[in-house]
Amino acid sequence: MKIALVSPYDFAYPGGVMAHITHLGRELEQRGHTVKVLAPVSSRDAVNAPNLIPIGRPVPVPSGGSIARISLSIWRERRVRQVLREEGFDVIHLHEPLAPVLPITVLHYSTAANVGTFHAFHGKARMYRYSHRLVRRWFNKLHVRIAVSPPALQFVSRFFPAEYRVIPNGIDVDFFGREAPPGLPFDDGKLNILFVGRLEKRKGLKYLLGAFSRLKWSHPDLRLLVVGPGSPGKECERIVAERKLQDVVFVGGVSGETLCRYYQTAHIFCAPATGKESFGIVLGEAMAAGKPVVATTIEGFSAVVTNGVEGLLVRPRDEEALAGALEQLILDPDLRREMGQRGRVTVQAYRWDRVADRVEECYREAVALRAGRVPEPAGRV
């Protein structure tokens, strides 16, 4: 099959949807499919993807406690029509299919089998509340609909009730589960707590810094590694300065290979996010690396980690509870090892080959459904 993977987000900027599309595309190509990625791109030089078809330039837009880098240009219709006509896709797989502007435009002009994956979980569905009547005609062009988790399904189905398949994000289990090589960063006898994620307020880093400050006095060999792009922000900087925290290392954004090494050098992985997470990709990566997890009881995380099995879950925004869970693992290396081993077993369900099997089934179903009906565009976008 010839497949288009469509994203509203800047393909040059790291994020969960971009990682999902990249890995899914690679898996599909290994199975003999032809795959093209349609996405806005801020810097073509920053993207090493020969199958990328850039459409539009993104701008930063606040969304769900984060910044979505999407293209808002409505002047790309001609380019979209040209690409769809020249490529002749059998399946168009749209990620966040109702997001402005590229996915909706592609969906509007598509005569292929259309599959939509809904990734987001924002808690409050303001976007859908105000737009669901307007965009329903495009939603109805989807032959098969996927949600990446039960929270994502709950989020979208409030305004777009329909049949959905729940197919999780995939994890590159073999990549993150490799044996640790010698000479890892910060492998010097200290106990490393690892945080991975964009440095946005909803990721909860300030609560981890607060918990770390409680633990550092009684565990002087403790170190916190913060990996991810962005600025820590004034609140985090204030906590570090006021509490005179030592051994907090802000690494910044890193390549996939370097990120793997940070997982390997960690003893405990911590994800203190406060909400608006549909699926914990970083939890899966840590589990693949055999690391015990301390995370919050938000819905997207609770769907991946079971409290007391692969890790410990605590209430969000509770630095005391976070410190208590971390200390339990700091003091008990056997528990760290047991939880890490159980995590390696659990994460096998998220292997990309298994995820791609289920996505392929959706493609075949969409193609069969399309054979019975090919909706026509309902006027201009």
pLDDT single digits (tens) 289-311: 999 999 999 988 998 999 999 99
Phi, psi of 99 (to 5 degrees): -80, 145
Q: Are residues 36 and 121 in the same domain?
A: yes
Give the pLDDT of residue 277: 84
Tens digit of each residue's pLDDT (9 = 90 or more) over 94-144: 999 998 889 999 999 999 999 999 998 764 555 655 566 778 899 999 999
DSSP string, 32-43: T-EEEEEE--S-
Q: Contact at 8 Å (CB) between 355 and 313?
A: no
Closest CA to 3 of 381, 338, 363: 363
Residue 156 lies in a domain: yes
Neighbours of 219 (CB within 10 A): 16
Asked if pLDDT for residue 67 goes beyond 70, the answer is no
187/331 same-domain check: yes
Q: Does residue 46 belong to any structural domain of this protein? A: yes
d(CA 168, CA 22): 15
Domain annotation covers residue 377: no
Q: What is the pLDDT of residue 276?
A: 80
Q: 343: which residues sit within 8 A by CB, 6+ positions away?
A: 286, 287, 288, 290, 291, 292, 293, 305, 310, 311
Residue 380 lies in a domain: no
Identify whether residues 75 and 150 lie together within a single domain: yes
Residue in 121, 138, 76 with CA at minimum distance from that of residue 102: 76
pLDDT value at residue 251:
96
d(CA 232, CA 372): 53
Same domain? For 139 and 209 the reply is no
Residue with tokens 């329909």: 162
Count of structural domains, the chain: 2
pLDDT in tens, 74-101: 668 899 999 999 999 999 999 999 988 8
Mean pLDDT of 262-277: 94
d(CA 102, CA 8): 6
Shared domain for 202 and 150, answered yes or no, is no
Q: Count helices and strands (H / E) in the chain.
A: 14, 15
161 and 178 assigned to the same domain: no
378 within a domain of the structure (yes/no): no
Q: How far apart are CA 202 and CA 15, in angstroms?
A: 15
Cβ–Cβ < 8 Å for 117, 279? no
Question: What is the pLDDT at residue 221?
Answer: 97
User: Binning pLDDT at 50, 70 and 90, where does residue 373 land?
Assistant: low
Asked if 279 contacts 171 with a C-beta cutoff of 8 angstroms, the reply is no
Domain containing residue 207: CATH number: 3.40.50.2000
The reply to whether 379 falls in a domain is: no
Q: Are residues 66 and 82 both part of a single domain?
A: yes
Considering the domain architecture, whether residues 282 and 357 belong to the same structural domain is answered as no
Confidence of residue 183 (pLDDT cuts 50, 70, 90): confident
Could you list the residue range(s) of the whole structural domain that residue 325 is in?
173-349
Report the pLDDT averaged over residues 246-250.
96
Q: State residue 372's pLDDT score.
A: 83
